């Protein structure tokens, strides 16, 4: 079943790690999990690349290009109304977690676990999430690999603007893992670039590029070029019906499209199994 309740994609990640893990404790109930093996020292040029890309992304977020304000407002409502019990929250590709804090504030969240490849982003997340007052664990890891190994242990899983980077087979694998992890009556929510029905990827990229190049007061021309290059290289959006079919194949039998953003570039979905 698919139910539409209401009527944006660029994301960034840095580095990779598939090594054994060890824990490092941080104050204010925040625990950060880093690779156990020593990592190469990051040179100054790599740090500058991170800072530049992060600044571009943050300017787009501050402009609300991705409609995060509406998305997190809807997510907050869902977590307050549809999850009427203490819940564990798993945030895949969590980044700096700056937006998710507002969605989780004043809910019954009892633990937060964020996974991301970027050590620098997790450092920011550790400060942003300290205000929640619940147990927080941040893990520097490939979230697809982490989901393969994760036991049933979550009530709500969230991923935003990251699942679309993968091929259909990996998307299906991750959705099946999410179904296993949340169990019966858990929630899996995604906010991802979404094709119009019968739209080609090239047509979608054309629409996305026009939307990006309209950000003349937010981005410089070379920054627009970088964002467009990312979309052309990395984005593999699906139609709403394909996202729905993938979720149903994974074992979710209740699907809702909760939101479609400006320019119809992104959509928010909720997947649940009634057991």
Residue 31 CB coordination number (10 Å): 15
> Are 224 and 215 contacting, i.e. CB atoms less than 8 angstroms apart?
yes
Six-digit token pair at 19? Answer: 């090594």
How far apart are the C-alpha atoms of 10 and 87, rounded to whole Å?
29
Cα separation values, 45 from 41, 42, 56, 222, 268, Å: 12, 8, 17, 18, 36
82-86, 147-151, 213-217: least confidently modelled range? 82-86
Q: Identify the pLDDT of residue 102.
A: 94
Question: Average pLDDT in the 192-214 region?
Answer: 97
- The residue count of the chain comes to 275
State residue 52's pLDDT score.
Answer: 78
Between 195 and 50, where is the model more confident? 195
**What pLDDT was estimated at residue 46?**
54
Q: Are 160 and 93 in contact (CB under 8 A)?
A: yes
Q: Which residues contact 156 (CB under 8 A, 6 or more apart)?
A: 79, 83, 87, 88, 89, 90, 182, 186, 187, 188, 189
Decide if pLDDT at 195 tops 70: yes
Q: Which of 34-43, 93-102, 108-117, 119-128 has the lowest mean pLDDT?
A: 34-43
Q: Each residue of 65-93: pLDDT tens digit?
A: 999 999 999 999 999 998 989 999 999 99
pLDDT at position 3 is 36
Confidence (pLDDT) at 25: 34
Q: How far apart are CA 259 and CA 191, in angstroms?
A: 9
Domain with 58, as residue range(s), is 2-272
Q: What's the confidence (pLDDT) of residue 53? A: 83
Q: Is the pLDDT of residue 185 over 50?
A: yes
Q: What is the mean pLDDT of residues 250-259?
A: 96
CATH number (domain holding residue 102): 3.40.50.150
pLDDT tens-digit readout, 23-44: 333 344 577 766 644 454 445 5
pLDDT at 54: 81
Mean pLDDT of 40-51: 57
Average pLDDT of the chain, as a whole number: 86
Whether the per-residue pLDDT at 252 is higher than 90: the answer is yes
Of the listed ranges 117-121, 212-216, 256-260, the least confidently predicted one is 117-121
Looking at the structure of the chain, the number of domains it has is 1
pLDDT of 153 reads 82
């Amino acid at each position: 079943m698919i139910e539409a309740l209401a009527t944006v994609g660029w994301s960034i990640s840095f580095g990779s790690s598939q090594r054994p893990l060890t824990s490092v404790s941080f104050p204010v109930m925040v625990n950060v999990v880093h690779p156990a093996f020593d990592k190469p020292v990051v040179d100054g040029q790599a740090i500058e690349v991170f800072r530049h890309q992060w600044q571009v992304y943050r300017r787009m977020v501050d402009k609300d290009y991705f409609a995060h304000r509406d998305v997190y407002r809807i997510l907050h409502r869902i977590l307050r109304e549809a999850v009427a019990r203490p819940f564990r929250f798993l945030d895949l590709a969590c980044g700096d977690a700056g937006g998710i804090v507002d969605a989780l504030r004043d809910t019954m969240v009892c633990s937060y676990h964020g996974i991301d490849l970027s050590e620098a982003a997790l450092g920011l997340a550790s400060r942003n999430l300290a205000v929640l007052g619940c147990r927080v664990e941040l893990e520097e890891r490939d979230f697809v690999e982490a989901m393969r190994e994760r036991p049933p242990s979550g009530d709500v899983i969230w991923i935003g603007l990251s699942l679309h980077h993968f091929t259909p087979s990996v998307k299906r694998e991750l959705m099946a893992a999410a179904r296993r992890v949340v169990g019966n009556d858990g929630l899996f929510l995604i906010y991802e670039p979404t094709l119009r029905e019968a739209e080609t990827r090239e047509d979608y990229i054309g629409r996305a590029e026009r939307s990006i190049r309209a950000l003349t007061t937010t981005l410089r021309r070379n920054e627009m070029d970088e964002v467009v290059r990312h979309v052309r290289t990395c984005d593999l959006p699906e139609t709403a019906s394909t996202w729905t079919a993938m979720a149903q194949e994974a074992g979710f039998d209740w699907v809702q499209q909760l939101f479609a953003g400006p320019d119809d570039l992104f959509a928010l979905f909720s997947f649940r199994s009634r057991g």
